[in-house]
Each structure stands twice: as C-alpha cells, then as structure tokens.
A and B are shown apart, each in its own frame.
Chain A
Amino acid sequence: MSGAVAQGNQAQLSGLLKSQEGIVLVLAVLAFVLFSLLLPSFFSPGNILALIRSVSILGILALGMALVVIARGIDVSMIATMVVSVSWAFVIARSGYSLEFALLVGALFAVVAGVLIGVLIAFGEVAPIFATLAAGSVIYGLGRTFFFTLEMQNVPPDAGWFSLIGQGRILGVPVTVVVFGVLCLALHLVLSRTRFGWQTYAMGNNPGAARITGISNRPMIVAQYAISALVAYGAGLVLASSASAINARLFNSTMIYDILLVVVLGGIGLNGGHGKVRNVILGTIFVGILLNGMTIMNIPYTIQNLVKGVVLLLAIVIDSLVNPRDEQTSQQGDL
C-alpha cells in the first residue's frame, strides 16, 4: 500500500522533472532552502516580505510581457514606455493640473505608444524584436527631449492616496503585492476564459491557421501591445509610489532582461502558443529568491548580472529543448 503511494510519488516527481515548470519549481525550492540555511538574514519575515515586494514590480511587468510572448511577439520597449509615461504624468501634475488628470494623460500616452507599436508590427509586418527595440529608443528619446529633462522625477507633493500604493498594506499585505495578485488573477481569467485569450494562444501557436480560421490577427496584435504598454505604465506607478520617485535611467538598466528572464524561466516558450499565469508567478518567485539571495551575500552587481545572464541562457536552451520546433516534428504532416 505505502509502496504504491511511494511509487506514485516517485512517478509524480519524475514527471515534475520532465517539464521546465517542474525543474524551475524544484530549483526554486532548493534555492530557498539553501539560502535559508546558509544566510541567517534570509529567512526572516522582514526579508521575505521585502523579497516579495521588490519582485512584485518585476512580476507585473512580466505579466504584460507574457501576454505578448504567448502571441509569438516580444516587447522590449516596456521599460521605455514605463519611465516616460510615468515621468510625464508627474511633470504634468507638478505644473498645476490635478494628479488624477495627470495620471490619465500618462495612461493615454502609454496606450497610444502601445497601439503605434502594435500597428507597426501588425500592419507594417516588422519583426517584433526590431520594432520594439527601435520604438523603445524613440519613446525614450521623445520623452527626454520634450516631456521632461531631469532623470529623477519625484512623486508630486500632497499625493496622499498615491503613495499608499507603494507603501500601504491591506490586511498586512503590501499593496504592491496585492496589485500583482489582482493582475495575475485578471490575466489568468482573460487567457483562460475569454475569446481574446483563446485566440491569443491560437495566434501564437500557428498564425497562419489562426488567420484562415477567421481570427483577426492584426487587431489582436495591436491590442496585445497596447495592453503590455498599459501594464508597463501600471508597474511604473507602483514602482514610483514605493520609491517616491521614478528614475528614467532604468531604461539603460538590465531590467528588460530581468523581465525576459522571469518569462522564459517560468516556462513561457518564446515560440509562443503556450504558458500560463502560473509560469509567470513561478518565474517571478525564482528570480526574486535568486536576486535577494545574491544581494544578501553581497555579491557584486557585475557578477549578479553574469549569473542572471547564464541563467537566462540556460533557460532559453532548455526552452528550445522542451518545445522543439525542428524539422522532424514539423514534418509529421507530410509523411
């Protein structure tokens, strides 16, 4: 009896190790246990809370990225959209308009940027990586030239409710984490229960088949990039609220690679067509543990980047092994 159970568990475990999700879950648990044992300050309520909070913003950004990646795209302009739209909103608020109005303008800017990028990809048929790479530079350049000059934009004074986003708590849980959780739930429902979600998977899986079936690929692409831009803006607001300022220099940081790391590591294949919200959560937690642990160990920033780079590379290699698109699998149809 117990033998059978053990066998069942073993089968479950070996099944776990076969999927990328499973591998990452096991690695995350291992890292957590290891850090908890080796680093006395890691396993403390304060640090765990800080860990989750710091990683929530990355997680929010990764949700937007995940939507685009599932549809076989990629959006490397997210950071640019984030810093420019939030900074501009703050500038407007400080020049005498109400904060609410300013935030609305910021949101509008983000959506317009996303729509334009989407149009470029959907109708101009530019490869997403190039389109968003170039668009990111354009957005950042526009912002720095016309909208704001200082790198550091502080949250406008007397923004009472706004600072609650980053610093408040609901039932003891930081609002940042609550926002991440709510967005996770929302994206999960969209992907699994709406026409838009199902068609997003279909598009990522086989754009040609999606088109012939009667799915409007192009408006869908535009919508996806608009949503990811809006999500980037939301993440920017949370970030600015918790740090009381937004730093445009983030555009030049490795943040966009951290987002990709979360998405790929979590198991959302870059080939598109699969991946769920739980992959994002998993990726977020693993990257969070990794970054937090390395920071506590006082590992220099450059070495942290090296570690992240190596992990990203490994994740991409595993991704292409787990989700192969080679000649043999693609030729099954014409035996």
Chain B
Amino acid sequence: MTDVVEFRKATKAFAGNAAVRDVDFTLRQGEVHALLGENGAGKSTLTKVLAGLYPLTSGEMLIDGKPVSFSSPGDAMKHGIAMVFQETNLIPSMNVAQNIFLGEESFFNRLRGVNIKAQQHLQRLNFHVEPTALVSTLGAAKKQMVEIARAVHHNARIFIFDEPTATLTPEEKQHFFALVERLKGEGASIIFISHALEEALSIADRISVLRDGALIVTDEARNLTREKIVQAMVGRQLTDALYGDAAKRVARAPREKVLTLENVSMGKAVRSATLSVFAGQVTGLFGLVGAGRTEMMKIAAGVLKRDFFHGGRITLRGEVVRFRVPRQAVRRGVAYITEDRKLDGLFDTMGIAQNVFLGKLAKGSNPVSVIGLNEARRQSAEWIETMKVRSIGANARLVELSGGNQQKVVIAKSLIQAPSLIIFDEPTRGVDVGAIAEIHQIIERLADAGAGVVVISSYLPEILNLSDRILVARQGRIVEEMTIDEASEEKIMYAAVH
C-alpha cells in the first residue's frame, strides 16, 4: 500500500512549548488509522497541521510522496484533505444544501437548483438528510453527515475525524461506523482521533498512540490490546500513580451538606437538575458533551443565571441563594475553576504573582484600598510555592508557561480566596502528565481539609480516581448517583448514554 500522508520528524511548537515533537507518522491509501492519546497529547495539533490550520515548526509533511506546506485550510482542501471537527463548521442559519455547496457556489444561484443537486449528492452517498432542512434543526449525527457530504463534494480523499463519536448516541455511532466503512470502500484514507479505545480497536486498521507530543507506538490494530494501548498512553509507572486502583481507596465520609440544587433549569441546557454536594469529600460529575454538567455548576457559581421562572432552588449552606454575578458567589466562598483557562481563566500577559494576587483582591470589598506590594509578592510567592508552579520567576508572564503551570496558577488564583466549595471543571485538560498528578494531589488535600469539592470531567479514569461520590449527568439532569464502591466505568458510561 502506498502512503498518502507522511510526516517526517514533524515538530510543532507554540511559544517554545512543543505540542508535537519529532513525529514520524504515515497514513496509507484506503486505511482507517486511529490516533489515540490523552488530552493534550498532541493529536489535535498534528491533524490540524495536516488540515492546514498550523504550519510545522520543523520537519516535513509529504502528500503522495511530495513535500508540501499549507498556508491555509483552503490549501489543504485542494490536496483533498478534509477535517471534520467535534463542533461542526456548518452555518446554522443556512439549509443543508447551501452548506454542502458552501464555497463552490456559482455566481448566480437558484435555491431550488442547489437543493436538487444536493439531493442527488446525498442520495449517491446514501445519507438520509433532507437537503432543505435548516442545519440548526439537525442533531449531531446529521450535522456530521452534512459535513462529510460537503467534504466528499469537495473531492476529499483524506478525512480527519476529531472525536466524531463523542456527541453521538450508540445508534448514531453504528451509522457513523458504517459510513466510515463506506468511505474506506471508495478508497478514502481516514484518520480517526478518539478517546474510546474499544472503538479504535474495532474500526481501525492501524493505531498510533501519542503521549506528550511524541509518537509512542504505531501498529496494526490486531496486534494491539486495550492494555497495551493504555500503557502507551499513560506510561507504565504513571498509570498506577495517576489512575491507581480505585477499589483500594477508602471513600471519605460525607460531612455537612454544602450545596443543593433542586429542580434547577436553564433553557435547554439544564432541565430540572437536582444534586447535593457535601463537605469533606470529592463529588465527581460525569457526563458526555452536551449533558449540561458544566452549566449546572456554572449556575451554582453565579457564572450563569438560571431561569427566572421555574428555575428551581439553590441552597448554599442552608441558605437559599440566587447569584447574579460570580462575585457574589466568590464572596461566599464558592470558587469555579474554568474548563477553558485561555477563555476565562487567566490574564495571559500579566505575571504569575499578579494573576494569583488578583484572586485575593477580588474577594475584598474596598475599591480604593492601596496594595502593599511586598505583601502581595509574599502571599503570591507562598501560593506559587504550594502549587509548585515551575517558571523562571514570579514575574514570568502566563503566556510563557506550559499548560500545566498555567492551570496551577488559575487554581492558585481561586484558592487564595480561601473558598469552602471548589468546583474544578476539567482540571487536567491540556495539562502535561507530570502536572496531572500534582493537581490531583491538590484536589485530594482540599477534600481532606474539609472543603466541598466538585470535579467535572469527561475522562472516566480521572473521575474514578478522585471521587468519593459520583453523579452522572445526561440531557441536563442528574440521572444517576453512586458511591465510589458501587462505581465502575461500565456503569457510569451506561448511565451517561442511556
């Protein structure tokens, strides 16, 4: 078989931090190649290079044996490369047909003509999507079909799927896998990024595992097992330390109730969710994308507002509350640590010490108070020390730090406020493996010290390793509650999808 894509010593660095490092990777004609790895392993970065979103820092990329470098996604598309993202890149206010022909419209267009052409195209692919339907009315699986139809229409022959199954129901997944088989049958080559090992094992011809930006293993799927892959993904010695034996752990006993949500609703995202959080233990909150878990906690922390009518009741330490802004929650000891630190977690061009001390400042009330610079420096330094933030100095700007260190700063910024309820939303997303263990330790210590801790995660081993009690969210509600002794990956996943 010939290689349609080849990376030679491919390296991509952001601000000096290599996200992908010396990777040699090949994609053969007509194969399904699964790309596995933890969050932040570099899977997305590698494929984004192939899709023309980033240029390589060093190394070579070859298409059909010829070295290429893309300056834009359009360039990649001309070489027949199509990337289907987790969040699809469709225009919701246009219909299916318009989306399929997006970018290839003729000068004058007749909607009817476009609809008919799209209909023919969809029929040829055997996709059951109505070409006149508005994209905003479609479900996740149908949107994916439209995106694939569009890519096929653009003569794509190399497909990249980034976590295609994360938002799909089991039934839709089967459709998707059939679709992949069909594309493969027509000679397309497919890169398939996933978290789910079983899927990769069953659908892929070959599997590659990335860890910390380096390619650990590439092999035929039939030569690999679940254990081998996990070992490659996390590294032997780390598996035990990080996602150790959940069964051996003793669950912490719940102390007093800190937070209660009763029938809390917000639009379509949260529908009558009811849950409690207790002091002195870690409550794990699991759910697939779109289950509303982040929204529930954001409501509790005042970041989002629940519905004014029939929005339910929130009780914080026995007192009914309705926060309009996060500040009110912060002043009552609630800290929400964001899942997207770049978006709303850190002040990227400010120094570490300043970032941390801003947390302290935000909790105070006097707006004109004068800051003692030495005191600020001392307190920040203490937290930088406690959190083991590694950098060249307290004045290093946040953009210069690695993902793990950035995350530690964001956590320190919240912990300096001495909160009694701490909500971690995906605390180890995009964090290097070394820092994961340290962040987990911090979370454990907080619970031991008697704080109420919530950990939202879409990574099951993390939930199982940290939680004393596990809540599972689906379609805006809490559908299952279990203690760590009752929990297993299968049970949680079952609750999350059914």
Whole-angstrom CA separation of A75 from B429 in the bound complex: 39
Whole-angstrom CA separation of A205 from B345 in the bound complex: 11
CB pair A214 B14 closer than 8 Å? no
Assess A213 versus B368: contact at CB under 8 Å? Given A208-B343, A335-B45.
no
Residues of the A chain whose Cβ atoms lie less than 8 Å from the Cβ of B40: 335
Residues of the B chain whose Cβ atoms lie less than 8 Å from the Cβ of A194: 368-371
Interface members, chain A 171-208 (any B CB < 8 Å): 193-196, 198-199, 201-202, 205-206, 208
Q: Which residues of B contact A (CB under 8 A)?
A: 14-15, 17, 19, 40, 42, 44-45, 53-54, 213, 301, 303, 325-327, 329-331, 336, 338, 340-350, 354, 357-359, 361-364, 366-371, 373, 399, 403, 406, 413-414, 417, 429-430
7 contacts between A and B (CB under 8 A): A195-B368, A195-B371, A206-B344, A206-B348, A212-B338, A214-B329, A333-B342
Whole-angstrom CA separation of A218 from B367 in the bound complex: 13
CB pair A332 B350 closer than 8 Å? no
Whole-angstrom CA separation of A273 from B403 in the bound complex: 21
CB pair A193 B325 closer than 8 Å? no
Assess A333 versus B406: contact at CB under 8 Å? Given A195-B371, A212-B326, A215-B362.
yes
Whole-angstrom CA separation of A209 from B354 in the bound complex: 13
Interface members, chain A 243-274 (any B CB < 8 Å): 273-274
CB pair A208 B331 closer than 8 Å? no
Q: Which residues of A contact B (CB under 8 A)?
A: 193-196, 198-199, 201-202, 205-206, 208-216, 218-219, 223, 273-274, 323, 327-335
Q: In chain A, what residue has the closest Cβ to B48?
A: A331
Residues of the B chain whose Cβ atoms lie less than 8 Å from the Cβ of A206: 344-348
Residues of the B chain whose Cβ atoms lie less than 8 Å from the Cβ of A219: 367
CB pair A202 B350 closer than 8 Å? yes
CB distance from A84 to the nearest CB of B (A): 28
CB pair B349 A274 closer than 8 Å? yes
Contact partner, A211, options B340, B344, B349, B368, Cβ 8 Å: B344
Assess A211 versus B326: contact at CB under 8 Å? Given A202-B350, A206-B347, A328-B14.
yes
CB distance from B332 to the nearest CB of A (A): 10
CB pair B350 A335 closer than 8 Å? no
Q: In chain B, what residue has the closest Cβ to A271?
A: B349
Residues of the B chain whose Cβ atoms lie less than 8 Å from the Cβ of A214: 326-327, 329-331, 359, 362-363, 417
What would 9 more interface pairs be, CB under 8 Å, given A206-B346, A328-B14?
A: A194-B368, A195-B361, A195-B364, A213-B414, A214-B417, A327-B53, A331-B14, A332-B14, A335-B14
Residues of the A chain whose Cβ atoms lie less than 8 Å from the Cβ of B364: 195
Residues of the B chain whose Cβ atoms lie less than 8 Å from the Cβ of A215: 327, 358, 361-362
CB pair A209 B350 closer than 8 Å? no
CB pair B347 A205 closer than 8 Å? yes
Contact partner, A213, options B54, B340, B413, Cβ 8 Å: B413
Contact partner, B347, options A201, A211, A218, A330, Cβ 8 Å: A201
Whole-angstrom CA separation of A216 from B25 in the bound complex: 49
Assess A213 versus B403: contact at CB under 8 Å? Given A196-B367, A328-B54, A333-B340.
no
Whole-angstrom CA separation of A198 from B373 in the bound complex: 11
Residues of the A chain whose Cβ atoms lie less than 8 Å from the Cβ of B349: 205, 273-274, 323
Of listed A199, A212, A323, residue having the most chain B CB within 10 A: A212
Assess A193 versus B350: contact at CB under 8 Å? Given A212-B336, A332-B399, A335-B45.
no
Contact partner, A209, options B345, B370, B417, Cβ 8 Å: B345
CB distance from B474 to the nearest CB of A (A): 25
Q: In chain B, what residue has the closest Cβ to A220?
A: B367
Q: In chain A, what residue has the closest Cβ to B341?
A: A333
Residues of the A chain whose Cβ atoms lie less than 8 Å from the Cβ of B350: 201-202, 205, 273
CB pair B367 A335 closer than 8 Å? no
CB distance from A164 to the nearest CB of B (A): 30
Assess A329 versus B363: contact at CB under 8 Å? Given A273-B350, A335-B19, A335-B42.
no
CB pair A195 B367 closer than 8 Å? yes
Residues of the B chain whose Cβ atoms lie less than 8 Å from the Cβ of A332: 14-15, 17, 342, 399, 403
Assess A195 versus B369: contact at CB under 8 Å? Given A213-B358, A213-B413.
yes
Residues of the A chain whose Cβ atoms lie less than 8 Å from the Cβ of B19: 335
Whole-angstrom CA separation of A223 from B368 in the bound complex: 12
Q: In chain A, what residue has the closest Cβ to B432?
A: A335
CB pair A213 B362 closer than 8 Å? yes
Whole-angstrom CA separation of A214 from B344 in the bound complex: 12
Contact partner, B430, options A198, A323, A328, A333, Cβ 8 Å: A333
CB pair A213 B330 closer than 8 Å? yes
Assess A333 versus B403: contact at CB under 8 Å? Given A198-B354, A214-B327, A216-B327.
yes
Residues of the B chain whose Cβ atoms lie less than 8 Å from the Cβ of A216: 325, 327
Assess A329 versus B399: contact at CB under 8 Å? Given A213-B413, A214-B363.
yes
CB distance from A96 to the nearest CB of B (A): 37
Whole-angstrom CA separation of A147 from B340 in the bound complex: 51
Q: In chain A, what residue has the closest Cβ to B346?
A: A209
CB pair A199 B362 closer than 8 Å? yes
CB distance from A186 to the nearest CB of B (A): 12
CB distance from A145 to the nearest CB of B (A): 36
Whole-angstrom CA separation of A199 from B341 in the bound complex: 18
Whole-angstrom CA separation of A329 from B340 in the bound complex: 14
CB distance from B288 to the nearest CB of A (A): 19
Q: In chain B, what residue has the closest Cβ to A272?
A: B349
CB pair A202 B358 closer than 8 Å? yes
CB pair B371 A193 closer than 8 Å? yes
Of listed B19, B358, B367, residue having the most chain A CB within 10 A: B358
Whole-angstrom CA separation of A330 from B349 in the bound complex: 12
CB distance from A335 to the nearest CB of B (A): 4
CB distance from B136 to the nearest CB of A (A): 24
